[in-house]
Every structure is written in C-alpha cells, then in structure tokens.
Amino acid sequence: MLSRSFKLSLRFILPLAVLLGLFAYILVPLMDSLTLRWSVRDLDNRSQLLASTLQLPLREYVQANDRVRIKRLFDSAVQDERLFALAYCDSNEKLLYQSASYPASLGCWNEPADGSKRRSLVRLPRGPVHVAETQIRDDASVFGRLILVHDMSFIERRSAETTKYVLGFFALLAVAISVLTLVVSHLSWRGWLAGVKDVLRGQLGRSARAPSAAPSPEMEPLIGELRGLMEEYHEERQRSSGESGAADWAPEKLKSLLQQDLAGDEVLVVSNREPYIHDAAADGTIRVRRPASGLVTAVEAVMRACSGTWIAHGAGSADKETVDRNDHVPVPPDNPRYTLRRVWLTKQEEQGYYYGFANEGLWPLCHIAHVRPVFRSADWAEYVKVNRRFADAVIAEARSDNPVVLVQDYHFALLPRMVREALPKATIITFWHIPWPNSESFGICPWREEILDGMLGSTILGFHTPFHRKNFLDTVDRYLETRIEQEASTISYGGELTQVEDYPISIAWPDYPDLAPVEQCHREIRDYLGVPRDHLLGFGVDRLDYTKGILERFQAVERMLELHPGMVGRFSLVQIAAPSRSDLEEYMSFEQRVRQLAAAINERYAGASAPPIILKIEHHEQEDLQRYFRASEVCMVTSLHDGMNLVAKEYLAARDDEGGALVLSQFTGAARELHEALIINPYHIEQGAEALYRGLTMPVSEQRERMRAMRDRVRRFNVYRWAGHMLLDAARLRKREKVMQKIRAHSRGGLRRVG
Ligand code: ADQ
C-alpha cells in the first residue's frame, strides 16, 4: 500500500521538483544582477567619499610636484582592502602618478563629453574592477583627474554564495513539501481505502455491518456516489446472474419469492395457448396434452406456486367437455394447483383475431422477414372483440381489485388498457415474445396508435432484448404524446407510468435422469434413419414458419456439399418441422417450398449413400427431440428474425456430454447471450455453409470449451429467473404504490384537519 501511495505521490512530487528547479533557474541571475547593482552603488559612494578625502592633499602635492608625498598618499590609500589602485592624470590626459598596483591597460580613464564623473565595471585579466574618476580642481580651473580602481572579485564571491543559498533553499523546500505530501497522501489513501472498503462490504455483501468509521466530510460525496454506483451494479449483477448462483433460480426459489414478495396477491395469466389441451382420441377417450412450449413451462411454475387462474383459448377438441359451468378446469389434472379458465372463440373470431390480425398482420410486421403484413379492417374488428372478451374474463375472474395480471404476447396488445380501465390498481405485466421492429416499420400498421395505447395500459412491459425495448421506446416516442425517461426506461402516458424492461426468456434446466446416454442416442437415431453409424448429422427443429430460415438452412447444406465434396454421402441434415398456422396461405405455400427445395437437393445428390436432407414435417414429443439433439454433431438455428429462440437453448441443455456445436443466427435474441456459438448471418449462404462444416469438423476440446461456457449460462439464466425478475419488479412497484397510497391518504387527512 505504501508503494502505491508513494507512486501516487510521485505524480505530484516530480512536477513540483521541476517547477522549483525552474524558479531557481530564473531567480539566481535575477539575484546576481540585483547584488551587482547594490554593490556598484555602494562602490560609487565609497569612491566619491575617498575622492573628496584625497582631493585636498593631492591638489597641494600635485601643485608642489611632490612625488614622494603623492606616492605615500597613494600607498596609504590602497591600504583599504577594497581600493585596489589609484592614479592621477593631468588635464592633458597624461598619467603622472599611479600606485604600484594600477593596471597599465587602464591608462587615463577618459573623461566623458559632459564632464560628469565616470564610473564603470571593467574586466581585467585578474578579475572585474570598478573604475571611478573625480576631477581635481581649484576654484578657477580643473587641473587633473583622480582615478580610483576598486576590486570587484568580492562580488563574484558573493554571487556564488547567493546562488548556493538560493539553490539550497529550493532543495530544502522541495524535500519538505515532498515529505509532507507523502505523509498526507499516505494517511488520506488509508482513510479513502477504508471508506471504500466499507461501502463495498456493505453494498456487495449486503451486510448489516456498521461501517468501521464515519466517512470524513470531504469523502461523503464520493462515498455517496460510490454507493449509488454499487447499488446499480448490484441490481445489474442480480439481474444478469441470478445473484446467489443461478442454480438457485429453481421452481422452489420462484415459489418462495412469490410467497415472500407477493404474499396473498392474486395472480392471473392470459395467453392464447392453454397449458393443458383436452383432445378426443379416435376411440372416443379424452386425452390431455401439454404443449411443448417454453412459455407454458415458465408460467406454469408461477401458477403452481401461487394457485391463481390462467385464462386461455380453449382450442382442444374435448376442451368443452372437461370444464365446469364457469368454464373452469382444475389443473394439473393429476394434482390440481390452479384453475384454467377457457375462453371460447367462434371460427370467425379465431380467423380474424388469431390467423388474420395477429399472424398475418402483427407477426410479419414485427419480424421483418420479407413477408408483407396483411391488415384487414375485418380482422382488426375481431382482434378488438377478442381482446375485449379476454379482458372481460380477467375482470370476471379477479377476486381482488389489485391482482397481478401476466399478459402473454402479441395476441393481446389491447387487453392491458381494457383491464386497466376496469381495475386501475391492477399490476399488469405484458411480455412481448416476438421482436419489436424499428419505428418506421411499425408505422405501416394502420392501427399503430391503438396498439401502442393498449400496451401502455401495462405497468411493466417486457421484451427479450435491449434492442427490442429501445425500438419500442422509439416507436412510442414517434407516434404518441408521451414523456419518456430513457435512463429509467419509463413511459409516462395519460398520467400512468409504464416500466419498459428486457427480460430474456429461457428454458427450465432439464433434469433427465432416465435419458439414454449420448452414444446410445447416436446409435439408435442412425439405425432409425437407416444411415451408417459413422454418418454425420445436423439437426434443425422448428415450427414450420418462414421466419425460422429453413430454406436458407437447406441452401447452406447444399453449398457446404459443393464446397466440401468429401461430405457428400457422409452428412445429412435432419429437419423436424411442426406444422403451424397451416390454415394460412403464406404457411401453406411455405411448406410447399420447403418440401420442394429438400426434394431438389436430395435429387441432385441422388447417387449418394444418404440424402442430404431428411425432412419430417410433424410434431414430436420432447423426449424424441432430446434424442435427436444428443445424436447430432451440429444443431442449426438459422432464423431470419427471432425474439429469442428456445431451440438453441434446448440443444445446449440436452448435451450433458459437452459435445456438439451450435450454428446460430445473429438475428435471434439468443445470439446476444450465446457468444460461443458459431454465429452466422443466415442470408449469407456461404457463411452458413462454412459454419456448418466448421461445426462438423470441430475438435472435441473446442466443442467442450464452447459448450461448457454456453451450458453454464443457460443453466443459470433459466426460465425461473425470467419469471422471477418480472415478478420481483412487479412486487417492487406494488410496494412503492402502497407507500404512495399511504402518503396520499396521510396528506389528505392532514389537509382535512387544516381545513
Ligand atoms: P416460437 O416461435 O415458437 O416462440 P421457439 O422459441 O424456438 O420459437 O420455441 C419453439 C418451441 O417449440 C421449442 O420449445 C421447441 O422445442 C418446440 N418445437 C419446435 N418444433 C417442434 C416440433 N416439431 N415438435 C415439438 N416441439 C417443437 C416464440 C418466439 C420466440 C421465443 C418464444 C418464447 O417466436 O422467439 O423464443 O416465443 O418467448
């Protein structure tokens, strides 16, 4: 620590030394010239005094031409230690008398024109001398001049001494200031460190420990600022790492959080998709199905913990048969923990709201995947109607006036405002699962203001990435009269405040004790596909949607085979695509194109021992998908645009052997977290092809290194953390609102008393 404070002090001491040196450098010649001037003035006076003393006898001896007396007079005069020599010249400038020491080179020191006495400094070989002259006159005339020469070497000695003292003084000053600086800075450094350590201990450890000493007053602003920064950092750290180890973000942690922070609060969920679907089988029995969806897994954990009500579209063929007269069904069926409230839609409503406005309008609008959004007034009318229907269901189901309502996705952009109007105290959290485009792109929606107004009924509005959040803020800024606080990420609109945040969604980290070992999956899948055991496999699994980049993936496979012909017959891509929104023309034609391209590529390599593309357009059970994940060398996620993409994370979770490689589109939200994936631009076919080849030939050690880092992140940043952060934020806002209510009530009471 001493050396650090010493180093810091040096930064001050060195410039100080330079400055003092500079002062000395300027001061020494100044002092020299001053002392010289004083000395000359001193000698002038002496010369004048001496001249007037000598004048009288000298005149007498000169007139008498008494050389002996003059010599004696001169000899006695030069006894003075400073007077070095003297001489007498007559009016004809003839040197008549001089002391023995008088320098011959001086001759008769010429008289100036104005007749004044001259004096000057002259440098002789023996050193500098001061020369002065005085006229010797009687009353009538001048008959000669006395020249006095003083020794000046003492001035040089004096100047050398002065220089020595001045330099010594500055050196001493520098040492004194340096020592003082060192001591003071060392003490301040210690105090500073102690203060900072206290802040860090208090803030990082969140310990209740009292600081070791109160900060000194001059430290207070700094400590305050540091504390603020640490608060921010701490919050950020909590957000991005799940604080006490994300392993803690398990269902139990979410549950205890709900019990602590939202104790007794009612939770309602609204989504289009229901968590349990009852279907009538061909044999007439009713089967219950759980859709494979990250959203359902995440929100289910919340519902199991707080026993609320989930409102969703009853889309199963036996859904109506399984509800009570309030359209309620307790779920999960084997161990009911919460209520599923089903909302029924007519074919026309489903067509207009779901297929029409949501999936032909908003879906392509938000994804910008070069499919034109279609906006029809009739679809919009259905969308408004269905949003109203679901909002009414929320209002009807609410048992309190301030429930927590979790609204899922772009199907319900208008619902938050509708619920807010009926339940002003509700905490409405809306999560937008798809991207949010830039403001120009969003601007083509004919009902853009209505959509934004509807969404701003939310207390909290969540997106997957900061990029989507920012796009949303820009869009609101452009089309609505609001006040936006960019720093705090809040929108103030019509007297209400909406917090806009990014909550990257994830998966529940799986626990598959009975999952077959990787080698077994590797073998069985190849046997099942009828390809050799050492065949290389790529894997893709998506809903059959044009945003997922399936065609580009196939093109990348074809290009890879062109660039690396050694892979022909040695590699296949297994593409599983779940039929989705098949009633829509766009999706029907997309399926056609997918089938055609796969067939064309396979046709081109018909002679190979295995087809390059193995296409399966069907829904698969999660266990089957796990087996494919574990059996494949590479997983390809090539979305043209995707809010997050959970398939990428599911692949990582399935690879507990830390093998395999992930090719990931840069246009997915997941790419912001999974930096160790082989990130590609899916529109760049060669890039996709090379990344695929690189994944297939990646050394095991590199696979492990990348996998380990990505798996660790997904395990910690799991779906419970996603839900937990949203609910924590909601709890914080609710607490704040309760405090505000108390303050308002208190001040109203105060006013009444005053009145
Ligand atoms: P999706 O567009 O549906 O989700 P994604 O995140 O990949 O996209 O989730 C798909 C889910 O369906 C995964 O769990 C996957 O395993 C499953 N799945 C896909 N094909 C399947 C098949 N053939 N059989 C069975 N299951 C299959 C939207 C957004 C995403 C966002 C999620 C969650 O478009 O960007 O990540 O919501 O917010």
Name the β-bridge partners of 614: 574
Determine, yes or no, domain membership for 166: no
pLDDT digits 0-9 by tens, 634-654: 999 999 999 999 999 999 999
CATH code at position 708: 3.40.50.2000
For residue 332, say if its preceding peptide bond is cis, omega within 30 degrees of 0: yes
Count of Cβ atoms closer than 10 Å to residue 98 Cβ:
20
Taking alpha carbons only, the member of 468, 377, 363, 452 closest to residue 414 is: 452
Q: Is 311 helix (H, G, I), strand (E, B) or coil?
A: strand
- How far away, in angstroms, is 660 Cα from ligand 1 center? 21
- Together in a domain, 229 and 293: no
**Whole-angstrom distance, CA of residue 424 vs CA of residue 193:** 49
Residue 573 lies in a domain: yes
| Whether 611 contacts 530, CB under 8 Å | no
- The residue whose C-alpha atom lies closest to atom 18 belonging to ligand 1 is 542
Chosen domain end from 452, 477, 502: 502
How far apart are alpha carbons 87 and 131 in whole angstroms? 11
- 672 Cα: distance to centroid of ligand 1 (angstroms): 18
pLDDT of residue 634: 98
Give the residue ranges of DSSP H helices in 262-293: none
**532 and 486 fall within a common domain:** no
**Ligand 1 atom 14 nearest Cα:** 293
User: CB-based contacts of 584: which residues, under 8 Å, 6+ apart?
Assistant: 355, 359, 360
Q: How far is 317 from 334, CA to CA, in rounded Å? A: 20
Instruction: Establish if 117 belongs to a structural domain.
Output: yes
What pLDDT, on a 0 to 100 scale, did the predictor assign at position 241?
A: 46
Please choose, from the candidates 95, 54, 105, the residue with its C-alpha nearest in 3D space to the C-alpha of residue 78: 54
pTM as predicted: 0.70
Mutate to test the pocket of ligand 1, among 542, 546, 618, 623 (most ligand atoms within 8 A of CB): 542
Contact 405, 268 (CB under 8 A): yes
pLDDT-flagged residues of the chain (< 70): 1-6, 8, 111-119, 195-248, 292, 294, 512-513, 749-755
Same domain for 233 and 133:
no
Q: How do residues 658-702 score in pLDDT, each as one tens digit? A: 999 999 999 999 999 999 999 999 999 999 999 999 999 999 999
> Residue 298 falls within a domain, yes or no?
yes
Nearest to 294 by CA among 670, 620, 650: 650
Judgement on whether residues 481 and 337 belong to the same structural domain of the protein: yes
- Residue nearest ligand 1's atom 35 by CA: 643
Residues 690 and 548 in one domain: yes
Does some domain include residue 509? Answer: no
Ligand 1 center–CA 293 separation, angstroms: 6
CA of 292 to the centre of ligand 1 (A): 8
Q: 319: CA distance to ligand 1 center in Å?
A: 23
- Give residue ranges with CB within 6 A of ligand 1: 292-295, 433-434, 505, 541-543, 576, 578, 619-620, 625, 642-647, 650
Q: What's residue 551's pLDDT?
A: 98
* Residue 643 Cα: closest atom of ligand 1: 35
263 assigned to some structural domain: no
Question: Are 493 and 576 in the same domain?
Answer: no
Do residues 460 and 382 share a domain?
Answer: yes
We report the CATH number of the domain holding residue 41 as 3.30.450.20
CA 290 to chain centre: 40
Q: Which residue among 430, 543, 638, 668 is best mutated to probe the pocket of ligand 1, counting the most ligand atoms within 8 A of its Cβ? A: 543
For ligand 1, the distance from its centroid to the CA atom of residue 645, given in whole angstroms, is 6
Beta bridge partners of 537: 572
Q: Which of 450, 478, 502 is the last residue of a domain?
A: 502
Taking the centre of ligand 1 as the mean of its atom positions, its distance from the CA of residue 72, in whole angstroms, is: 127
pLDDT at site 206: 37
Q: Using an 8 Å Cβ cutoff, are 671 and 679 in contact?
A: yes
In a domain, 12, yes or no: no
C-alpha distances (whole Å) from 613 to each of 150, 459, 537, 637 are 115, 47, 10, 15
**Structural domain count, the chain:** 4
Write down the mean pLDDT value for the chain: 88
Note whether 273 and 237 are same-domain residues.
Answer: no
Enter the tokens of residue 41.
């003035």
The parent domain of residue 64 ranges over 26-159
Are 699 and 592 members of one domain?
yes
State the pLDDT at residue 649: 97
- Where a domain ends, among 502, 531, 551? 502
Whether 437 contacts 365, CB under 8 Å: yes
pLDDT at 205: 40
**Domain check: are 587 and 688 in the same one?**
yes
Q: Is residue 480 part of a domain?
A: yes
Are 594 and 675 part of one and the same domain?
Answer: yes
Tell me, in angstroms, the distance from the centre of ligand 1 to residue 650's CA.
10
520 Cβ contact partners less than 8 Å away, ≥ 6 residues apart: none
Q: Is there a single domain that holds both residue 498 and residue 548?
A: no
Closest residue by CA, ligand 1 atom 8: 645
Residue 71 Cα distances to 77, 100, 180, 183, 195, angstroms? 10, 9, 65, 69, 87
pLDDT at position 242, please?
A: 44
